[in-house]
Each structure stands twice: as structure tokens, then as C-alpha cells.
Structure 1
């Protein structure tokens, strides 16, 4: 978990004398309030809003255009990477910072490919979030140091045979991610704004690629690879 704000000693330089607005979206109230306290304690940052659902987060980003949006990877109601995709399609200026308990290469790559400006582990220290803010406001990309960015984009000779997740398309991986978190097909369709039939097609395709024949098998596969949220 992020350290309490009163334990933080790092000072992040803020460009010019400007106050940057921040939206915080997480379905856990305690996490939201802790992040808000952390941000408000720093000069140059103002929390303009908090929410617990993906659809609300997208509406606030679209209408209010905060400088930064801090989003949990698994927001209910609308999948977080779908929010990222739409924000990028609309060419909105908000920098998107995603927080997650998941650290597998495929998740990080898909998030960055969708257009997030920063990907942080929730298990990381508080100062990394503030470092990420400074980096993305300067137009950069930030990934938690624990994830070893060089290995993410240069995995060596690792093949699809060694990691079958590499066979999945972006949409298939989104469906996979939600299935292993226990989300039913109908809700997956709502979160991704797809038809239930399309979700069934993606599910059948990803199961064929992974050579797994039921959802229980997918969950077992995900647990073995530490791909499920540890809330």
C-alpha cells in the first residue's frame, strides 16, 4: 500500500507556479481517501474529484479535463483500459496514471499500448506516485522501477510457446483479465461496451489459444501466474 502522506519527505518540483488538478478513481473508499490526502499534502496539486466507477471517471475526465487521472486498473462499470482508449481517441489532455496489483508483462504492455502515461504497483512507496506525476507532466512515461521496464520491452528469447498470453489480442486479453477476476460475461460486455455474443467469441478464441476449456481452468492458470488481484 502507499505510505501515509505524513511519512512522505520527498519534494517534487512543480513546473512554473501552477496548480495541477487530479481525479482519483478507485472502488475502495479507503484507497481513494488515502491517495487524495497524499496528493493534497503536496504543493501544486489539487484533487478535483473522486469516484468509484469507470463510467463516472470517463465522464469527469471528458467534462472537467483534469491534468492527471489516477485510475485503478479494475474499475467496475467500465473497464479501465477502455477508459484509456476513449480518452486517447478523443485526444483529451489528461495524463492517465494506472495503479495495479498486477505486475505481469502482458498487463503492463497492454496498458502502455492503450496510452497510459504511468503504470504503478499499489505495493510501491508513495514517492513513486509523485515521481510519476512529475514525469508525465513533462511529457514522459513512468513505470514502477520494480517492474524493470527494460525486461518488459526486451524479454529476450521468450516465445509465445513459453508464454501463451502473448498469443492473445488486446481485446482477448481484456476479456481474459475480467473473466479471471470473476466477472460474468454479461457484465464484461457492459464494461467493454460489446455485445454478449462478441464477448463469447473472444472467450472461445482465447480459450482455444491457451488450450484451456473452461473458466475454472482460466482462473487456475491466472493464479499460477499471479495474474489475479490480491485485494
Structure 2
């Protein structure tokens, strides 16, 4: 399956099999009046393209409806090894899969990956000394908590419904005033029937200062930080 991200129908469905015949007239649309190009490439990430056996089509649609989801059969797999797209009973795309698989013009470039500077290593306290931050910790601490980088993100966080489906174990904001961001996410594994005490944990880590100095070390410490957050969650 594929989501309808960048490239829309042409990519989401076009990547699923070597030979495809796509009928844009069967694609459910939100707005009328779209032409073939717009229907073929418009992005709509909330949609998914799924390959199923022809005989399973109707049962798949019924299963989707039982979950309050729309489903439609808009394409068929062929043995022509071509991507074909129809609109208003005419083919507007008919491209060889062999050509698509070339990924276009081959590009080459020379890359030199240099070792990070030892003198600018932020892990050795370089920036504190270089910028004079160690001279007045109180002043710099007060300056830091006034930065937009550490301001509350409650408005952004609450744009996402963390209670959908009721699997949430740990809410995004906690503490006495419900203002403290959680170290990570904890949610129960969804079940069709019964109950479970099994949960999935997820966190992230990123240090822009380390990553700017060395992307390699930034990646390493991102994993370390994410694992530390999971541990801190208990």
C-alpha cells in the first residue's frame, strides 16, 4: 500500500505494480472541475492505495465502510509493463515501466566528508568557554528561559487529538498544571477484541549544536537521548 503523498495518484498507485491501468474518472474527489493533470498529481495524504485480488474488491469496500471509510476501485494491474492513466475515456499517460525505472538522468557529484573539528567539539564545553557563558550562570540561565526555544508549545500540541481511539497511556502534557511536556509517548496496542496491558513507547532526540558540528555524532546522540527519555518514562 502507499499513501497519496507527493505525486498523488500517479505515484501512490503508480509505484504499486509494473503494469497499471488507472481510471481517474473513478477517483473520489473533494472538488469538481479538476482536470486530468490535477487529478493525477494532487496530494492527499489521508488517502491510501492498496493492491488486492479482484475477487476481494467488494469485501474490501464493505470492510472499509464498517470503519466509516470510503473506498473505491480505481485501477487494475496489467501485464503490459506500462503505467497507463485514463481520464474521460482517453489515455493521458502511457509510459513504459522500463523508462520510469531509470529514474531520469543519472547524476554524479564528488563529495568530501571531513572529520569534525576537535577544537569546536560542543561535548567538551567549547561553547560555554568560547562564548563566556561560564562567567555568569545566573544571567545566562535567565536569558535561556526567556528564549522562544523553550516556550510552551501547548497550543501546537493540542492541535492533535491525543485521545482518539482511547489508547493513550501517557498524555502529551502532564504535571500539576498540565503544562509539562512528556518525555515520550505511551499508547496501548489497538485490539479488535479483548483487553491488553501491552503498550508502545516512542520518543525522540535531537541536539542542533552537536548535529551542526558533526551530523554523525548528532545521529548517535539523538538515539542515546531518545533511549534515555524512554528510560526516564519508567
User: TM-score, length-normalised on structure 1?
Assistant: 0.22
Structure scoring higher RCO (CA < 8 A, sep ≥ 6) equals 1
Answer 1 or 2: which has greater strand percent.
Answer: 2
Answer 1 or 2: which has greater helix percent.
Answer: 1
- Of structures 1 and 2, the larger Rg is shown by 2
